[in-house]
Structure formats: structure tokens, C-alpha cells
Amino acid sequence: MYKLKVHKKGIIVIPKEVRDKLNIKEGDELNVVADGEGIFIFPQRNIEKYFGSDKDAIKALKVLEEERRKERESSS
């Protein structure tokens, strides 16, 4: 387990050991899922691996991902 500090504008730093283990590089996009238990962060390319065969969850996350992408584009 790692302790992370939230910086100005909500920025957190993922420890180098974790980035190396998951092959996360600068500029990579990550998925964030929040529920009543906490926050879960997944490398975008691996999200299906974490949700297995739950097609509904994967579809919902992809819809959410697309909505967020459109929001980012419209705010630019």
C-alpha cells in the first residue's frame, strides 16, 4: 500500500515503483472509478482485464470515458 498526497488542483503522484510495474508513462491516460469504497485507477489499456467478463460494466465505463473525452474537447 502507498500513501499519496493530494496537491494543488487535485494532482496526485503515482509512485515510480507502481508506474514501472504497470508500465505507465508520461502522457498515458488512466481510468478512474469511484464508488462508496474508494477510488480505483486503471491504465486505460488494461481496464477489461480488471473487470473480466462483466460486459455491462465495461460498456458503462467506455460510455463514461467517451463522455469525459467530449467534455475535455469542449473545454479546450
20-68 residue pLDDT tens: 998 899 988 888 888 888 888 888 765 566 566 667 777 777 788 888 8
What is the DSSP secondary-structure string of 24-66?
Answer: --TT--EEEEEETTEEEEEEGGGHHHHHTT-HHHHHHHHHHHH
Q: What is the pLDDT of residue 18?
A: 93
Domains in the chain and their CATH numbers? Answer: 8-74 (2.10.260.10)
Q: What is the C-alpha to C-alpha distance for residues 52 and 3, in angstroms, rounded to an integer?
A: 27
Return the exposure string of 3-26: e unless at least 16 CB atoms fall within 10 Å of the residue's CB, then b: eeeeeeeeeeeeeeeeeeebebee
